[in-house]
Chains A and B, each alone.
Chain A
Amino acid sequence: MKGTKFKIDEFESDLIKATGLEITVGRIVEEEWEEILGPTPMPSVTDLRKWDFALLNRYKPMYAPLCDLCCLCTYGKCDLSDGKKGACGIDIGAQQGRIVLLACCIGAAAHGGHARHIVEHLIEEHGDMPIDMGKNVEVEAPLVRLIAGIMPKKLSDLLEPLEYAEGELMHSLSATHTGQEGYFTDFESKALHVSMTDQLLMEIADVAQISALGFPKGDPGAPLVDIGFGSIDTKKPVILCIGHNVVPGAEVINYLRDHDLYDKVEVAGICCTAHDLTRYDKGAKIVGPLSKQLQFVRTGIADVIIVDEQCVRADVLQEARKTGAAVIATNDKICLGLPDRTKDSPKDVIDNLLGGAPGALILDAEKVGEVAVRTAIKLSETRKRRALNVVKEAKKCIQCGLCIRECHNNLDIPRGMEKAAKGDLSLLSEIYELCIGCGRCENVCSKEIPIVSLLGGAAKEITRKERYKVRSGRGPIQDTEIRNVGSPIVLGEIPGVVAFVGCPNYAGSSKEIAEMAEIFLSRRYIVTTSGCAAMDIAMYKDEEGKTLYEKYPGNFDAGCLSNVGSCVSNAHIAGAAIKIASIFAHRNLRGNYEEIADYILNRVGAVGVAWGAMSQKAASIATGFNRLGVPVILGPRGAKYRRTYLGRPDKSEDWMVYNARTGEKVQISPSPEYLLYVAESKEEAIVSIAKNCIRPNDTTKGRQIKLTHYIDLHKRYFGKMPEDIAMYIRTEADIPITLKAEIMKILKAEKWEPRITPDPTLLERLCRKKEVK
């Protein structure tokens, strides 16, 4: 019920007498949820500021401006170097906080737009369906419960938290306006805030699509599906979906099913849409992550390219034009200047596309399904895929070297060209492996050589064989899986949880992420993944020809690799951390963000790794995890986000917590050491991951195994025992038994003293008065 107003003219009871009393109620909701409402349901921008400041006090932001200027208003440009302030009064530190906030707002807005569209669309198409996350998932939407304080039962229940998040986004974004917020910690607090709502928005989107579209519901045995250029049957018409919103692609599959064409057309995807297509239908193919976009479009394999939203190349239309593929834009976020054909008959649109129109905007998913299929079938009959003469093109190269200066990875394209001109394509093919597919090299080429196509052409033999398996996105983690790992974690059998997430903007080989994942899988960490990272993990085989998904089960358990799904499925990783608090400690989730984040920071040994983070979404995802108390490690490119959150292990005063048992402040090990760190190399990241799984609550057995891995990896990659080891030993029982003699010697030399293991919290209000009668 909405907008109820009632008036009581006269009312009298034993206690109160009232006359002319008017009560207006925004909404009346029936509620079965017994849980007590926590202090911050749907928190405003400032409600959790205290928690943010507690985090920022320990993990002080380090800013690395990418630009010394501010160009956001007509006062500017303003030069903020050398301590100068802008015309509006802002300094360089606040300006960085502001840009970070802006990035987080953009990221949250992308997920929010996605969530808004998908929830409304699904309600419209499928009715107000119940929310169903499958068996053994009791807490259906942990972030909605935690942040919004509601327990959603049906799709329409998601509208309220969605509206809330949209409102917070507006307030947060407004703070970036000239003459609004002025201090860096408050910009950071808002960035943390809007990124928290980003997590909420991701969860809303994924919960809705899992419920309504029949995606796997927390299924560890979700099907293994095909990924890689080579998995696509090029003899069939090919429809390529790029982006993040599965709706149009799903309609393509529906059309194929309904018209007995299912086996006659290939449906493939790039980026998260691809993940979600396989969740919708395991027969869909994944071309690969974002980095393969330009490469794959250039191959001309796709007859029709459907773009939905997020992470689509802005020049997809021009690129498609080169191959004769038709582009269908399907979402209000990406219209590409195309004519709106939503209301036109499918036949007209198809004829138009077959007649050479570059594309069409169709904002009706069902119609997209029909147009895409019929166009692809026709186009595939007439369209010729042009072969590229790599050697001939390479001969045009004059070795000016401009391309290498544009290349993120400093790849030696000129030498590759030189060799290719002589018929040796090996170096270009090697470069292909390291290329992130941005295409910047081509923009500067003085001879207009299609360098990206040449790389693809040189590696053609390899790419045609690129056929791997990835486990389709399983969605949430089951409550019972979390219960299962409780005992092995406290008994020191599982050292931690590592989540490999994010984009493929790698500084080195894309294989690095699979290598890292396998290191932690073989050491029996719980490994989980999502998005483009989950795809790159698949694109690597061991000597037996198996991918990690074939080698390691899809459970949330020691030595298991669980792919939760697309970008929006990242919410389930946060959800798993949250559920630990509700399952083991029976902490209330409802509107109780601060307490849960404090629990996670101090107890849940989980680390996120976004090795190729590129987008603003990745910025908000990482920042959202940070507010929840989960540290994130970025690849070297992450330095361009301009901000890290770094602890100072050398300052013991920064590492104090309350011991909730006694209320006293006590010293802890500097753990997690960072909230947001940038690692220069794979090796540095690996050791850092192991170290950042340490938490102040670790049992001695838990600490032993965490330290064993930290020390072992440190010795393996850096050649020696870590120098900070004494900081992590609280009592002798923390010392890994196989290293006892070696470590005792160090402790003695450093005059080490034992410490207690507290019941750790940063929140004084959670301290219990010890009452022993």
Chain B
Amino acid sequence: MTIPWFSANIPGPKQARVVTPEIAAKILSKVGRKMMLCGSGIKGQKIGKEPIQKYILDLSKEMSVVVAPSVLKDFLEMGAEPVAKGVVEVTNLLRDAEWRGFDGKGNYDMVAYLGFPYYLESQMLSVLKHFSDIKTMSLGRFYQPNADYSFDNLKEKEWEKNFENLISLLRRK
């Protein structure tokens, strides 16, 4: 069993399944309504030479993207205007099955988290794990046991490769 990045962060018997980009892409592509939440940690993050924002915008053609308000400026500068809301606030909306979503079409089936402080993401995943039917996936560098699916603990380069791979798989289909 994979050990959480913060080794003491063992929630209990139910822990995330470790996924490769291939499996992650497969799972995501099967899901109906999905959303990706991007945290403050994406600031300055690059995939190869490209800013990660470019990849996220690419992905926004496949799923709803919500970003932390503190990184909204980066997107505005690129001419995009994703929904911006604090992760605690969004998670609070998500746990309400009756919530109609940002587009008014209903709540989401799966939510992916990326770029949050490890412990904050862990706690938000825990909310949805216990208080919603939404499936969750953690796309960060570190294994998050409270998600349903998570990348393994990865070295920086490995993770970049994984992420790039995931995006291209999702875009290909």
The answer to whether A and B touch in the complex, with CB atoms under 8 Å apart, is yes
Using a CB–CB cutoff of 8 Å, the interface residues on chain A facing chain B are 62-69, 79-82, 92-93, 405-406, 408, 410, 507, 636-637, 639-640, 642, 644, 646, 648, 650, 677-684, 687-688, 717-720
**Do residues A67 and B70 form an inter-chain contact, with CB atoms below 8 A?**
no
**Do residues B5 and A405 form an inter-chain contact, with CB atoms below 8 A?**
yes
The verdict on B95 contacting chain A, using a C-beta distance below 8 Å, is yes
Known: A62-B95, A646-B92, A718-B73. A408 touches B119 (CB 8 A): yes
The verdict on B48 contacting chain A, using a C-beta distance below 8 Å, is no
- Report the minimal beta-carbon distance from B50 to chain A, rounded to whole angstroms: 21
B117 — which chain A residues lie within 8 A by C-beta?
507, 636, 680
**Do residues B120 and A636 form an inter-chain contact, with CB atoms below 8 A?**
yes
Q: Provide the bound-state CA to CA distance between A611 and B130, in Å.
A: 27
The verdict on B135 contacting chain A, using a C-beta distance below 8 Å, is no
**Do residues B69 and A67 form an inter-chain contact, with CB atoms below 8 A?**
no
- Report the minimal beta-carbon distance from B161 to chain A, rounded to whole angstroms: 19
- Report the minimal beta-carbon distance from B16 to chain A, rounded to whole angstroms: 12
**Do residues B88 and A639 form an inter-chain contact, with CB atoms below 8 A?**
yes
**Which residue of chain A has the shortest Cβ distance to B124 in the bound complex?**
A64
A678 — which chain B residues lie within 8 A by C-beta?
88, 120
A92 — which chain B residues lie within 8 A by C-beta?
130-131
Partner of B72, one of A63, A408, A682, A719: A719
Q: Which of A82, A93, A636, A642 has the most CB of B within 10 A?
A: A636
Q: Provide the bound-state CA to CA distance between A679 and B89, in Å.
A: 9
Interface contacts (Cβ under 8 Å), in number, total: 121
Known: A63-B130, A410-B118, A681-B68. A720 touches B76 (CB 8 A): yes
**Do residues A81 and B68 form an inter-chain contact, with CB atoms below 8 A?**
no
A81 — which chain B residues lie within 8 A by C-beta?
11-14, 129-130
Partner of B73, one of A406, A688, A719: A719
**Do residues A680 and B130 form an inter-chain contact, with CB atoms below 8 A?**
no
B73 — which chain A residues lie within 8 A by C-beta?
717-719
**Do residues B11 and A67 form an inter-chain contact, with CB atoms below 8 A?**
yes
Q: Which of B40, B88, B95, B99 has the most CB of A within 10 A?
A: B88
B120 — which chain A residues lie within 8 A by C-beta?
636-637, 639, 678, 680
Known: A62-B91, A636-B120. 20 other contacts (CB 8 A): A62-B92, A64-B123, A66-B123, A66-B126, A68-B13, A81-B129, A81-B130, A92-B130, A410-B118, A637-B119, A650-B99, A678-B88, A680-B116, A683-B70, A684-B86, A688-B86, A717-B69, A718-B73, A719-B76, A719-B77
**Do residues A63 and B69 form an inter-chain contact, with CB atoms below 8 A?**
no
B86 — which chain A residues lie within 8 A by C-beta?
677, 679-680, 684, 688
B21 — which chain A residues lie within 8 A by C-beta?
none
B70 — which chain A residues lie within 8 A by C-beta?
680-684, 717-718
Q: Provide the bound-state CA to CA distance between A66 and B119, in Å.
A: 9
Q: Provide the bound-state CA to CA distance between A69 and B120, in Å.
A: 19
Q: Provide the bound-state CA to CA distance between A677 and B88, in Å.
A: 8
**Which residue of chain B has the shortest Cβ distance to A686 in the bound complex?**
B70
Q: Provide the bound-state CA to CA distance between A80 and B84, in Å.
A: 33
Chain B's interface size range is 35 or more
**Do residues A68 and B124 form an inter-chain contact, with CB atoms below 8 A?**
no
Known: A507-B117, A640-B119. A67 touches B12 (CB 8 A): yes
| Nearest 9 A/B pairs, CB to CB | A68-B12, A639-B123, A64-B123, A719-B73, A683-B70, A681-B70, A81-B14, A681-B40, A718-B69
**Do residues B12 and A64 form an inter-chain contact, with CB atoms below 8 A?**
no
Which residues of B in the span 48-85 have a Cβ within 8 Å of any Cβ on A? Answer: 68-70, 72-73, 76-77, 81, 84
Q: Provide the bound-state CA to CA distance between A66 and B4, in Å.
A: 13
A93 — which chain B residues lie within 8 A by C-beta?
130-131
**Do residues A646 and B88 form an inter-chain contact, with CB atoms below 8 A?**
yes
- Report the minimal beta-carbon distance from A636 to chain B, rounded to whole angstroms: 5
- Report the minimal beta-carbon distance from B64 to chain A, rounded to whole angstroms: 16
The verdict on B19 contacting chain A, using a C-beta distance below 8 Å, is no
B89 — which chain A residues lie within 8 A by C-beta?
646, 677
- Report the minimal beta-carbon distance from B152 to chain A, rounded to whole angstroms: 14
Binding site of A, secondary structure by majority: helix, strand, loop or mixed?
Answer: mixed
**Which residue of chain A has the shortest Cβ distance to B155 in the bound complex?**
A401
Q: Provide the bound-state CA to CA distance between A288 and B102, in Å.
A: 45
13 contacts between A and B (CB under 8 A): A62-B88, A62-B91, A405-B6, A637-B120, A639-B88, A639-B120, A640-B123, A644-B92, A678-B88, A680-B40, A681-B70, A684-B70, A717-B73
Q: Which of B7, B69, B77 has the most CB of A within 10 A?
A: B69
**Which residue of chain A has the shortest Cβ distance to B8 in the bound complex?**
A406
Q: Provide the bound-state CA to CA distance between A642 and B146, in Å.
A: 14
A410 — which chain B residues lie within 8 A by C-beta?
118
A640 — which chain B residues lie within 8 A by C-beta?
119, 123
The verdict on B134 contacting chain A, using a C-beta distance below 8 Å, is no
Known: A81-B12, A680-B40. A405 touches B7 (CB 8 A): yes
**Do residues B68 and A65 form an inter-chain contact, with CB atoms below 8 A?**
no
- Report the minimal beta-carbon distance from A313 to chain B, rounded to whole angstroms: 18
- Report the minimal beta-carbon distance from B99 to chain A, rounded to whole angstroms: 8
The verdict on B36 contacting chain A, using a C-beta distance below 8 Å, is no
Q: Provide the bound-state CA to CA distance between A682 and B69, in Å.
A: 11
Partner of B87, one of A507, A680, A720: A680
Q: Provide the bound-state CA to CA distance between A271 and B127, in Å.
A: 33
**Do residues A79 and B13 form an inter-chain contact, with CB atoms below 8 A?**
yes
Q: Provide the bound-state CA to CA distance between A456 and B92, in Å.
A: 41
- Report the minimal beta-carbon distance from B101 to chain A, rounded to whole angstroms: 11
**Do residues B127 and A684 form an inter-chain contact, with CB atoms below 8 A?**
no
Q: Provide the bound-state CA to CA distance between A408 and B117, in Å.
A: 9
B93 — which chain A residues lie within 8 A by C-beta?
648, 650
**Do residues A82 and B14 form an inter-chain contact, with CB atoms below 8 A?**
yes
B87-118 interface code vs A (CB 8 A; 1 in, 0 out): 11101110110010000000000000000111
**Do residues B123 and A79 form an inter-chain contact, with CB atoms below 8 A?**
no
Q: Provide the bound-state CA to CA distance between A406 and B77, in Å.
A: 36
**Do residues B6 and A406 form an inter-chain contact, with CB atoms below 8 A?**
yes
B11 — which chain A residues lie within 8 A by C-beta?
65-69, 81
Q: Provide the bound-state CA to CA distance between A406 and B4, in Å.
A: 11
A405 — which chain B residues lie within 8 A by C-beta?
5-7
Q: Provide the bound-state CA to CA distance between A640 and B127, in Å.
A: 12
Known: A62-B91, A68-B12. A406 touches B7 (CB 8 A): yes
Q: Provide the bound-state CA to CA distance between A640 and B8, in Å.
A: 13
Partner of A62, one of B69, B84, B116, B127: B127
A687 — which chain B residues lie within 8 A by C-beta?
69
A646 — which chain B residues lie within 8 A by C-beta?
88-89, 92
Which residues of B in the span 6-49 have a Cβ within 8 Å of any Cβ on A? Answer: 6-7, 11-14, 39-40
- Report the minimal beta-carbon distance from A587 to chain B, rounded to whole angstroms: 33
Q: Provide the bound-state CA to CA distance between A680 and B39, in Å.
A: 8
Q: Provide the bound-state CA to CA distance between A64 and B95, in Å.
A: 11
Q: Provide the bound-state CA to CA distance between A215 and B39, in Å.
A: 45
B126 — which chain A residues lie within 8 A by C-beta?
64-66
**Do residues B12 and A79 form an inter-chain contact, with CB atoms below 8 A?**
yes
Q: Provide the bound-state CA to CA distance between A410 and B117, in Å.
A: 9
Known: A677-B88, A717-B69, A720-B72. A69 touches B12 (CB 8 A): yes
Q: Provide the bound-state CA to CA distance between A92 and B117, in Å.
A: 24
**Do residues B72 and A68 form an inter-chain contact, with CB atoms below 8 A?**
no
**Do residues B14 and A718 form an inter-chain contact, with CB atoms below 8 A?**
no
